[in-house]
Amino acid sequence: MTTDPARPFGRVLTAMVTPFAEDGSIDLAGAQELAAHLVDRQAHDGLVVLGTTGEAPTLGDGEQSAVLEAVLDAVGDRAVVVAGVGTNDTAHTIDNARRAERLGAHGLLVVTPYYNKPPQAGLLRHFTSVADSTDLPVMLYDIPPRSVVPIEVETLVRAAEHPRIVAVKDAKGDFGALAWTLARTDLAYYCGEDMINLPMLASGAVGVVSVVGHLVGPRLAELIAAVESGDLAKAREVNESLLPVYTGIFRTQGVILAKAALREMGLPAGPVRPPLVDATPEQIAQLRTDLADGGISL
């Protein structure tokens, strides 16, 4: 499997949910079935597992290893599999990264350490320490709504000097910072917030790490292709058709309604783990309406 250096993790990736059985245990067969569905029927060239939408904070290390290994066995020969390894503990993150490399992951997603509120010097040391610990390419995950601390442009410029820090998943939505980072580095940007896929792609992002990609992978591929070809009228048309889907999935925490939609479609998902709670009947009814407005029938 080869990748384009300009988009080291592909174009369309989904932050994949972790399917659970009804008793809350990991559904490994379901994870494999869902991964294959996304790659073979939803136009994905990559998957991010064990991220926010994968409920990684509620998975033990052994469970994370089992999920990653299952997904790699299912699709690792035909899709880029990126392992979310980030925590707010640098030593633990390094352990996760090394374990992911041993299992065969193709890349690492490393989120800004949350809760600790480290200064920028601490972020840089964290990211470079993790990147030093394996030979895998690293995608930084900049999501201040969850981690509080944004990765500042100067920190990204310094981080980009590391040969294995090659990409950013941006859920910050600061287009000035994006422009300056793209002007000063070779980092590949991936949009990590579905509602701003179009403006971020138009600003120079090379792909998306999506939640709605569970449902609309081919349309995201169409959106990216339209932007790349310079057909912004087509890109706006595709994006407008997706707005009800973006809104519908994020009326509450994205994984809750993504799992609800997958369950309604007969795909593996199962419940969420506490402290999250499953969608209510009223939320599912609203989701049906939203997705229908976006061209998806549950």
Query: Catalytic site residues?
Result: 141, 169
Q: What are the structure tokens assigned to 161, written together?
A: 């000097």
Does 67 carry a binding-site annotation?
no
Angle 66-13-15 from CA coordinates, rounded to 5°: 50
107 forms bridges with which residues in the sheet? 82
| Alpha-carbon distances, residue 291 vs 53, 64, 197, 240 (angstroms) | 19, 31, 18, 13
Question: β-strands 207-210, 107-111: how paired?
Answer: unpaired
| CA triple 208-228-81, angle to 5 deg | 30
**Beta-sheet strands, E only, within the chain:** 12-15, 46-49, 80-84, 107-111, 138-142, 165-170, 188-191, 207-210
Whole-angstrom distance, CA of residue 173 vs CA of residue 188: 15
Contacts of 228 (CB under 8 A, 6+ apart): none
Rg (CA), the chain: 18
Q: Is 208 annotated as a binding residue?
A: no
CA angle, residues 42, 286, 21, in degrees to nearest 5 = 55
d(C-alpha 142, C-alpha 167), whole Å: 11
Q: Is 45 left (phi over 0), alpha (psi -120 to 50) or beta?
A: alpha
Interatomic CA distance for residues 271 and 187, integer angstroms: 36
Q: Which residues are annotated as a binding site?
A: 53, 209
Q: List binding-site positions for pyruvate.
A: 53, 209
